[in-house]
Structure 1
Amino acid sequence: MIDAVPAALLWAVTVWRAGPTFRRRQGLSLWLAFLALAVAMTVRPVAVASAFDENLHVTNLSYLLKHICATVAAASVLTFVADMAEKKGQFRASRLHHALPYVTVALLVLFFATTPQPTEADDLLADYGSHSTILAYGLVWTGYLGAALLSATSLCWRWGRQPDSGLVGRGLLVTGAGTAVGLVYAAHRVTALCVQYAGHSLLGEQNDETVSTTLLYIALLLIVIGSTLPVAPRVARRLRAHWRLARLYPLWRHLTDVVPSSRLHDPTGRLRDAVILSRTNDRLYRRAIEVRDSILTLSAYTTPKLRGLAYDHAITGGFIGADADVAAEACWLAVAREKCRHGGEPSGEAVPPASGGRDLAVELRALMRLSSAYRSPLTETFLRTHLSEETS
């Protein structure tokens, strides 16, 4: 079960980054790194790896796939960091030759194919570590992984400390911490492999596996956090916009159901509306317009007397100033909606809103306050009192 957590996290990041990556044609190397890591962590569990090998009829092929994916991920992270350093920094970043990852993958395939593997291994490098070809396989893989992570760590440290690097710099420092932990992971793996080839054990088979897994998970977590940190403000704004969109749904639905001409599209259910993550800002902008259009239409179903009573009711409820205006607007709006819903005729001219209007941010804050007031006991009491007076 614990292996499923990093795999799920990596797939979530991969899917989340796919849209912006291919729309803007940038950040492809980072997206490729997450994709490779997601594939590697998906086939890492023994049950998944065994099923994968059995279906493809190649013993231990899952290990080759994992190591190739790790190589691709290391090369991609290095490319991403080097590109950022060259673009933002005042120096030209050094990097491994572009051909080296391809040479590494070719050697891995060669050594894997020339090693007899009659049975499925729990750990390829441990179970077949006595073969010189697997020793060479492990040294090539960990050697390239270590070199790539060392270069990435150096670049992250050099550029992340620049005074004007901002969140991008902090993200690089966290990413560098992740690649540094990955470097420790690679060093541990190559040391354990060499010690095992000599017929000994570094920390004991179980302890070696525990240390290796812990270092791997810490490295992955830090790399995910570091690469996501620069876009954290944008993500936070997106989440805040989506939260406001969901919060405005009840008021929007309640008002536009009686004034359907104010909305552009037919409504969906609240749950379905909340899980749609696309075009959040556009939908929020449209929702604010439609709510205000509905309020403007319904204001014609009120009279100065009704609005005065609503304001007195708000004052009696303990509201003052701008809060009283918003509470009063919610009270008379509830009455106007009921009048419109039952086929009443407009009784006056439309009136301007009680608050908001200078810009979208101010308008949204005003509508959020109105939404809360509209669902408050104060508004329910005013509506019941007004309806009972009309029927008596």
Structure 2
Amino acid sequence: MLLLIIAAAVVWRLYLWSRAPHDAPTRSVALCLLSAGLSYPVAMPGGTTGIDTVAGHGTAKLIQNVLLLLTVYFLMCFYLYSADGSAARRRAQWEAVVVSAVTVAIILAAVTVPHEDFAGSFSTADMTIPQIAFFYAGAGLYLMYALGAAGRWTARYARVSSRPHATGLWMTAIGLGAMAVACAVRAVFVTVRWSGGTVPDRLTAGVAFWLVASILLFVAGITYSASRSRITAIRLWLRRRRDHRRLSPLWQLLTDVYPENELRPASRRLWDRWRARGVHRRYHRRIVECRDGLVDISPYLVDEDGDADLLSLEPAELASRLRRAADTIRQGSPAPGQAVPLAVPKEDDREADVRQLIAVSEALRLTA
């Protein structure tokens, strides 16, 4: 499931890149996610076993680390192209030289030791072998540098942003900083083990847990604003679907006597009923149709009580008069007066207007 989510994110970002091929920040994000997405199946047990069986022990680990270096490099490029303007290209090229040098160095370190010595994980690798120690230390120090720089830039953006974006940015910055700290601590562990010392398993496991928690915080941070916006959009979608149904009694009565007020739908496709745009469009259309119908039917309510103020009527009384007016219209009687406002809220906003219409519609439903 996680692999499918990552794959969907990669495909979506590649699609956005295809629509804006010259947009450097979009390209950087797409390549960052692509590198991260490719590293995940390589790190899975099945992927690691398959690659190591074909190319030798440790090959999957090498590929995964190279992809991680590219991931943080493209993450840096996103910030560079977003903030530095004209200087971004030169800085990105310089950073490309740095990551290329680190990549070549760890590849040379990996291929100069027997495959059997390169097998295993960080906690079980023989760090007294200089090439293996250099492999882990070199990759870890570059990750520390790139993650730390990205975290610093994220914190800079967070200080000048407003909520909820600032909240997500601070979570991202803390996650990046915590990952950089974890990489630094692992580099210290490599130095200790290379010099012949030992690191307690509890410390190694603790740093591994710290790294996982940092990654989760980073992911939560970069998705916070979008997730919150999506939740808000879903809540609005649900509320408008519900309000659309609650307006049905009033809308049905008014369109029965004034069918010409029913607007032509923009789309008759089945899935348009569930799409957010289709739901919002039908919601607003129903409000307009109800308001047009109330204007047309209002002359038939004027003679109910002479000069009585129709705006002061309670929803139940107005609903009763609307039913009688509809019956009068069906009998073909002419309008006895002029159009007057009906069901106008005291507050001057759209939400109050909808609440007033729903109150009348609910009263019609209860008296059906």
Kindly report which structure 2 residues correspond to 1:1-392, keeping only aligned pairs within 5 A, or say none: 25=23, 27-28=25-26, 29-41=28-40, 43-47=42-46, 49-50=48-49, 53=52, 59-86=57-84, 97-118=95-116, 121-123=119-121, 126-127=124-125, 129-157=127-155, 160-161=158-159, 164-167=160-163, 171-204=168-201, 207-228=202-223, 235=230, 238-251=233-246, 262-266=264-268, 268=270, 273-274=273-274, 276=275, 280=277, 283=278, 285-295=280-290, 304=300, 324-325=314-315, 354-355=343-344, 362-363=349-350, 366-367=353-354, 370-371=357-358, 374=361, 376=362, 378-383=363-368
Question: Against the structure 1 CA distance between its residues 9 and 330, is the aligned structure 2 distance closer, same or farther, given a 3 Å change threshold?
Answer: farther
The alpha carbon displacement at 1:21 in A equals: 6.2
Note closer, same or farther for the CA distance 1:336–1:308 as it changes in structure 2 (3 Å cut).
closer
| 1:18-70 Cα distance to aligned partner (Å, 9 max, x none) | 6666656464234543443344345444355435655x655444323332232
For residues 58 and 336 of structure 1, the distance between their equivalents in structure 2, rounded to whole angstroms, comes to: 86
> Residues 363 and 158 (structure 1 numbering): CA distance in 2 closer, same or farther, change over 3 Å?
closer
Does the CA-based 8 Å contact 2:299-2:340 persist in structure 1? Answer: no
Distance 1:335 1:39 in 2: 69
Q: Deviations over 1:67-108 (max 9, x none)?
A: 223212222332333444436xxxxx9886332122223333
* AA at the equivalent of 2:265: R
Instruction: Report the CA distance shift for 1:381/1:242 in structure 2 as closer, same or farther (over 3 A).
Output: closer
Query: What letter corresponds to residue 210 of structure 1 in structure 2?
Result: A
Cα distance in 2 for residues equivalent to 1:267 and 1:353: 34
Q: Unaligned stretches of 5+ in structure 1?
A: 88-92, 310-319, 384-392
Q: 2:325 & 2:10 partners in 1: Cα distance? A: 49
Larger Rg: 2
Q: Deviations over 1:131-185 (max 9, x none)?
A: 4322221122112111222333444455654xx5445666554433222211111
Q: How many residues align?
A: 341
Aligned partners of 2:99 and 2:290: how far apart in 1?
62
**Offset of 1:194 from its aligned partner?**
3.1
CA displacement 1:164-212 (0-9 Å, x = unmatched): 54456665544332222111110222222333344543121xx355323
Whether the 8 Å CA contact 1:301–1:346 is kept in 2: the answer is no
Change (3 A) 1:380 1:105: same
Residue 308 of structure 2 is matched in structure 1 by: none
Percent identity over paired residues: 17
Letter aligned with residue 183 of structure 1: A
1:367 partner letter = V
